[in-house]
Structure 1
Amino acid sequence: MTARIDKPLLAVLRGERRDPPPVWLMRQAGRYLAEYRALRAEKGGFLDLVYDSPSAAEVTLQPIRRFGFDGAILFSDILIIPHALGQDLRFVAGEGPRLTPILADHALDALTPDFSRFEPIYETVRQVRAALPPQTTMLGFAGSPWTVSTYMVAGEGSRDQSLTRRMAYAEPARFQALIDRLIEVTADYLSGQIAAGAEAVQLFDSWAGSLSPAQFERWVIAPNRAIVERVRDRHPDTPIIGFPKGAGGKLARYAEATGVDAIGLDETVDPVWANDVLPKGLPVQGNLDPLLLIAGGEALESAVATIRHAFADRPHIFNLGHGIQQDTPIAHVGKLLGLLGK
């Protein structure tokens, strides 16, 4: 018989507790790595990297080679979906993404979808999965409908998502149609990643914290639940991580109502409180403040100890509360892994 390959991160997502906990970091492939900066300079713009499968695979693998993380997260972007739905996408240096035409002023049906834009992403997954060490879990991802819609409606990121929230209040039927379309396409996109080799997937709802309880129920919980159900129907053995950044006191409701297999916690969440209110045995991921990874020293050591103690009896994946910052010292990442016993 063939020996079973042990994948610690995948085991935790399926409900096992591991000590030391498996670890990966959001945005672990990116600008804090010299090797990434060199490849980016060679290849050009961000989207040029994302749609060049060999380059995107190389970027995904860079932090695995350097640090041996337990998970490799696909190098891509949550705005690939609106790009595939027909919006033009570009990234402006120092300012972030721009989408046109904006859906505040244009109809979604007027756009011409091009779902061939998903194919390079799937090929990246295939190439990374083939090159990963056998113990490393391949993670795919997508943005959740609420967060993606905020960019589609406004054409860019914003502090309070005001334009999108106004549409949701003033034109709920029109906005629901956008969310329904995003549910459908996101489920298909995640299923395509899984078919290509992703062993678990994460739903990023980066702007979930801007909504009232009623709006959170309609625009965060309901769409994520629908995606989870659709993906699980097709891939019942693939764990799904939900990351509703800023959800705060609504986390327990999110965990219970969406049906995710694990929940990511941002840095504002008290891990002791989270352990008390979340369903018993539900795997959690997080939640070190990315700025602590920059600060290092005793502050980092203390925070790591607090998080590990809070989740000592629960399946736990160590991660940041959001993405790693570009000015994070490489030595501090190594220090973190040492503190975790990796």
Structure 2
Amino acid sequence: MPRGQKSKLRAREKRHQARSEAQRAQDAQATAAEEEQPSTSSSSPSGGSSQDEEKPSTSQAQPNTGRYHRTPLDDTAILLVQFLLRKYNMREPITKEDMIKHVIKKHKVHFREILRKASELMVLAFGIDLKEVDPTRHRYALISKLQRTNDDRLRGEEIMPQTGLLMTVLCVIFMKGNCATEKDMWEVLNVMGIYADKKHFIYGDPKKLITEDWVQERYLLYRQVSNSNPPCREFLWGPRAYAETSKMKVLEFLAKVHDTVPSAFPSWYEEALQDEEERARARFTALVHTGALATGPSMANFGSFSHLY
């Protein structure tokens, strides 16, 4: 097959896969929204990157070449997401026993598969990790990809539905060299069915959310590109994004979407590791300056801080 035709086929398969992932996430959000609270956004990033060498070396899930069809296990996973959100918002413990008793029921034999699907949906739709914190008693916890700061609305009493979409936007910026043009951003979001000029059925006006709301909340910087002709604008991480998440967490989010590990993206992984070490050094320095750590000759020879994270 000619190279041009192969490229078009691969691009078409990527679009199908991204739409399927986005649809699953949106199904989870819509179901949760009906029971829990008014929702405003979410989805998952496609592989929209200019760095072709960053494609993961591990095997990918087979692309969906047709319309996405939900299975009974998919439906149960979506119901489990709704159950987990309710437990989280009511600050009740999450146990395997409760999940089987109240949601999974007759599908008990498929518990691991359903839990895996629900865990993926929690990340894609809400930017929330489902972690087993007590393997003996099979207790679980939901951990946000964002560490909330001083906004009362975001202190953790309730899941923020926009987190998944925000992680997507931050991921695109990171993939594009820490600065993404408006054109780059919407090319990725369009693949997921999110358009600047169309209302989204979950969160309303995506352009306002991204170019105004998150800019005001300091998650994003949105500025004019210098000497651009015709004039164009670009996105960067804002100070609140740097405070509440990290490049490694964003890369983990991307890896989760592609069913792989962060190290499958070598150069981004290296940059994320460097960012983690710089953060560790900054934390260590702050502790020294505040007197929280003793200083002395032993500290002077302290080289690598990588073990702090």
TM band (smaller chain): under 0.3
Instruction: Report the structure, 1 or 2, having the larger strand content.
Output: 1
TM-score by length of structure 1 reads 0.24
When Rg is computed on C-alpha atoms for both structures, the one with the higher figure is: 2
